[in-house]
Amino acid sequence: MKILAIVSQKGGAGKTTLAANLAVAGQLAGEKVVMFDLDPQHSLAGWANGRSAAPAARIIDQATKLMQGLEVARREGFTIAVIDTPPAVDSVAAFSADASDLIVIPCRPAILDMRALAPTVRIVRDRAKPAAIVLNACRPSGSSSDEAVAGLSVYKVPIAPVRLTYRAAFQDAATASQGVQEFEPKGRAAGEVGALWQWIIAQL
């Protein structure tokens, strides 16, 4: 079982959006996917509760129970686990990062978001774990995201070559408890998520 931890101290960066959409992408690619929601707000679990199809989400209310939860999932035959975390760099983020094969860090291409990334990047550095920054909610023109790539290079964390654009489909799909690939299979958001999944799976 390969484990993705979605981590960022910044609220609204797109952790839950990424967790849900990557989980659906994995499922559509034939993986058996389970999600773990470690955020007390339970946004991911709420999203999962609104659907009848897999992937399901399991709530973990204490970071120390994560390893056990992952072990159970491994025994159940899941091939991918996606962990969503609260907007904090604390023991929850640390446990999640420790457990993961890849730490995924969503970041909006805006200066305040980029500056706020330092404590999150430290989590990666302290562990020498594979990690990737995923630019999320980018402008369709791409110009601001190109600048962001240059600005983020100081962190020396790989930046995924696939970016997610700011699109209504991400919000509309969430309302329907779907991934964008389910909500609008031929849409641009679906194309971006599919390409991002391909890139991420190649890093694992």
Chain positions contacting ligand ADP, by CB under 6 A? 8, 11-17, 43, 87, 136-137, 164, 166-167, 170-171, 174
Tell me how far apart the alpha carbons of residues 48 and 177 are, in angstroms, rounded to a whole number.
6
Distances (CA, A) of 173 to 30, 72, 158, 179: 21, 30, 28, 6
Q: From Mg ion, ligand ADP, none, which one binds at residue 136 (CB under 5 to 8 Å depending on kind)?
A: ligand ADP
- Give 80 or 138: the residue with its C-beta nearer to ligand ADP: 138
Q: Name residues contacting Mg ion, limited to 11-30 (CB under 5 A).
A: 15-16
User: Considering the complex, what minimum distance in angstroms separates the CB of residue 39 from Mg ion?
Assistant: 5
Q: Name residues contacting Mg ion, limited to 39-68 (CB under 5 A).
A: 43
Q: From ligand ADP, Mg ion, none, which one binds at residue 140 (CB under 5 to 8 Å depending on kind)?
A: none
Q: From ligand ADP, Mg ion, none, which one binds at residue 3 (CB under 5 to 8 Å depending on kind)?
A: none
Kind and range of the H or E run holding 81: strand 80-84
Query: Using the 8-state DSSP alphabet, how is residue 46 labeled?
Result: H
- Give 14 or 194: the residue with its C-beta nearer to ligand ADP: 14
Name the burial class of residue 3, with classes exposed (0-12), middle (13-18) and buried (19+) by CB atoms within 10 angstroms of its CB: buried
Q: From ligand ADP, Mg ion, none, which one binds at residue 145 (CB under 5 to 8 Å depending on kind)?
A: none
User: Considering the complex, what minimum distance in angstroms separates the CB of residue 69 from Mg ion?
Assistant: 18
Tell me how far apart the alpha carbons of residues 48 and 104 are, in angstroms, rounded to a whole number.
20
**120 counts as binding Mg ion under rule CB under 5 A:** no
Q: Where do contacts with Mg ion occur on this chain (CB under 5 A)?
A: 15-16, 43
